[in-house]
């Protein structure tokens, strides 16, 4: 893995998964896996989700509320990050958990 990047990362069509990544001091960061590269980002996975949702026009909480309304699910709802590009991510567990992994639906084969 390369050097940790301190800039804001915005989810895009190449983003496959956002994994929690802990540094040598136990600080939570993110390992972002794209189709052609891997990036270690200083931001937490939940912060990348929040930043990306805001960039594409809504807060993460607004996306969660909309998903709950549409799906009637209350937990681990899929998040529409960008409706124009069809980017949806779903969590593997509670988004409050440091172990939560975010997976892009468009990169799941099975």
What was the pLDDT predicted at 1? 62
Contacts of residue 98, Cβ cutoff 8 Å, sequence gap at least 6: 20, 28, 44
Look at the chain and count its residues.
Answer: 110
The band of 108, judged by pLDDT with boundaries at 50, 70 and 90, is confident
Local structure of residue 49 (DSSP, 8 states): H
Q: What is the mean pLDDT of residues 39-54?
A: 98
Model confidence pLDDT, tens digit, residues 60-100:
999 999 999 999 998 999 999 999 999 999 999 999 999 99
Decide which of 1 and 54 is more confident: 54
pLDDT at 4 over 90: no
Contacts of residue 14, Cβ cutoff 8 Å, sequence gap at least 6: 34, 35, 36
pTM of the model: 0.93
Mean of per-residue pLDDT scores for the chain: 94
Local structure of residue 4 (DSSP, 8 states): P
């Amino acid at each position: 893995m390369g050097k940790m990047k301190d800039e804001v990362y915005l989810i895009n069509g190449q983003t496959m998964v956002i994994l929690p990544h802990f540094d040598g001091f136990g600080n939570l960061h993110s390992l972002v896996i794209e189709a052609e590269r891997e990036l270690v980002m200083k931001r937490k996975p939940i912060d990348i989700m929040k930043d990306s949702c805001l960039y594409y026009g809504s807060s993460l909480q607004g996306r969660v509320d909309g998903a709950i309304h549409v799906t009637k699910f209350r937990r681990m709802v899929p998040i529409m990050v960008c409706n124009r590009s069809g980017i949806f991510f779903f969590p593997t567990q509670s988004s409050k958990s440091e172990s939560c992994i975010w997976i892009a639906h468009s990169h799941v084969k099975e």
